[in-house]
């Protein structure tokens, strides 16, 4: 398919990437049926992890600042955040046969599938083992170590941008930005991730950053990583997130063939929000500054004809030591099957279906890239 640099495939045909005419600061209309519906933010008391503040709000803000249309930026940001929202299986009985929606995040149990199909391809892409070892007190080298701006993450991002698909671009952006939030951890369950007795979750298995719970994923957090050398132990998430924002903004601008010499101003404006101590205050600022629609995890499910997720997994939105500690819950969830939902051919034009196809492709590419490294 021949495609101009200004358009890309979308759920409703070709989707403009950049505004086709001056908008005078006003939001452009949708290119197809409305998919913005009434929305709500994350429930009080939950954390929608890097978290929703970066994977959804920051990605949307940076995409709009870069020059993407509102619709393209919205789909890309939703795709990025939906990686953390797809925690339970979903199955459709559709005209072309059974369609299974993949799971891309898991907060409550561990098995080989969690490691190979969820953690490694979507959240813990291996990076530079030597660089990670140089920061550790024990200098232990780990080929699965996550490091910022890793080669695999960059390759997946550039491949996704080459496809010009907002769903694939958003998913790849999620994995890319997670290399900052999850640096110095691995997507395995291993002692290399162990934060020691000082961790509030020290009694739980050292899978990913479970010992740090949600600390790496909150933009305003400061925390200590006891595995690192003394000069590197104090972690300021805002600094990490600023660098991730700068990098992804530059990728957006390069994709649009525009200069990025204003990247510091753009990132400064965004990171000012992370100084606000109140989460509710920060969420309000994203809406005020960037006209961002509040994140609604159920929006794409509703549009595809699926009921609201009422599974035990649906209420778990971060690494919760109590959820992990309940082994009976983990066993029940591991053995659970997706409810089959009958739908018509409209499924194939839905955002959820397009996102799922993109997620499957991202997983395939990521697993191939990891295997190519001998891992």
CA-based nearest residue to 84, from 276, 274, 359, 278 = 359
Q: Select the more confidently predicted residue: 15 or 362.
A: 362
- Residue by residue, DSSP assigns 316-362 as --S--HHHHH-HHHHHHHHT--PPEEE--GGGGGSHHHHHHHHHHHH
CA-based nearest residue to 103, from 366, 374, 355 = 355
Residue 301 to residue 303: CA distance in whole angstroms: 5
Token pair recorded at residue 192: 């290399």
In this structure, what are the phi and psi dihedrals at residue 228, rounded to the nearest 5 degrees? -90, 165
Residue 198, pLDDT score = 73
Beta bridge partners of 100: 91
Q: What is the pTM of this model?
A: 0.84
Token pair recorded at residue 66: 């870069």
- Residue by residue, DSSP assigns 41-108 as -PPTT------HIIIIIIHHHHHHHHT--HHHHHHHHHHHHHHHH--S-EEEEETTEEEEEPP---SS
| Each residue's pLDDT tens digit, 128-156 | 999 999 999 999 999 999 999 999 999 99
Token pair recorded at residue 196: 């020691």
Longest dimension (CA), the chain: 59
Beta bridge partners of 94: 97
| Each residue's pLDDT tens digit, 170-227 | 999 999 999 999 999 999 999 999 998 777 777 788 999 989 988 999 999 999 999 9
Residue 107, pLDDT score = 67
Enumerate the domain spans of the chain: 50-372
Give the chain's mean pLDDT: 84
- For 357, other C-beta atoms within 10 Å of its C-beta total 16
Question: What is the helix (H) or strand (E) element at residue 13, kind and residue range?
Answer: strand 13-16
pLDDT confidence bin for 375, thresholds 50/70/90 = very high
- What single DSSP character describes residue 159? H
CA-based nearest residue to 324, from 208, 223, 218, 227 = 208
Location of structure tokens 């929006």: 299
The residues, ordered by sequence, that sit 6+ positions from 300 with a Cβ below 8 Å of its Cβ are 35, 78, 82, 350, 351, 352, 355
> Looking at the predicted structure, is the pLDDT value of residue 312 above 60?
no
């Amino acid at each position: 398919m021949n495609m101009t640099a200004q358009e890309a495939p979308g759920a409703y045909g070709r989707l403009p990437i950049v505004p086709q005419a001056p908008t005078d600061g006003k939001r452009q209309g949708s290119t197809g049926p409305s998919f913005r519906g009434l929305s709500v933010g994350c429930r009080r008391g939950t954390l929608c992890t890097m978290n929703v503040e970066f994977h959804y709000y920051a990605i949307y803000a940076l995409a709009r600042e870069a020059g993407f249309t509102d619709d393209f930026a919205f789909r890309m940001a939703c795709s990025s955040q939906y990686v953390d929202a797809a925690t339970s299986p979903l199955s459709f009985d559709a005209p072309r046969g059974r369609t299974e929606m993949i799971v891309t995040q898991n907060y409550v149990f561990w098995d080989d599938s969690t490691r190979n199909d969820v953690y490694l391809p979507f959240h813990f892409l291996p990076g530079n083992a030597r660089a990670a070892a140089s920061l550790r007190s024990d200098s232990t080298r780990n080929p699965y170590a996550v490091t910022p701006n890793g080669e695999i993450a960059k390759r997946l991002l550039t491949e996704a941008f080459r496809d010009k698909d907002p769903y694939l671009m958003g998913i790849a952006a999620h994995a890319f930005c997670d290399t900052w939030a999850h640096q110095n951890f691995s997507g395995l369950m291993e002692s290399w991730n162990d934060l020691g007795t000082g961790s509030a979750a020290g009694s739980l298995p050292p899978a990913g950053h479970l010992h740090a719970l949600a600390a790496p994923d909150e933009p305003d957090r400061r925390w200590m990583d006891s595995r690192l050398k003394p000069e590197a132990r104090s972690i300021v998430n805002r600094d990490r997130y600023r660098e991730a924002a700068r990098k992804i903004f530059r990728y957006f601008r390069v994709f649009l063939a525009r200069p990025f010499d204003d990247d510091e101003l753009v990132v400064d404006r965004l990171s000012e929000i992370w100084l606000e101590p109140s989460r509710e205050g920060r969420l309000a600022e994203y809406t005020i500054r960037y006209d961002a629609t509040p994140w609604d995890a159920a929006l794409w499910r509703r549009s595809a004809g699926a009921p609201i997720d009422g599974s035990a997994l649906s209420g778990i939105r971060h690494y919760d030591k109590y959820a992990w500690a309940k082994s009976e819950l983990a066993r029940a969830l591991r053995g659970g099957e997706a409810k089959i939902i009958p739908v018509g051919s409209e499924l194939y034009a839905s955002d959820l279906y397009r996102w799922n196809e993109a997620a499957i492709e991202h997983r395939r590419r990521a697993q191939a890239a990891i295997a190519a490294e001998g891992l």
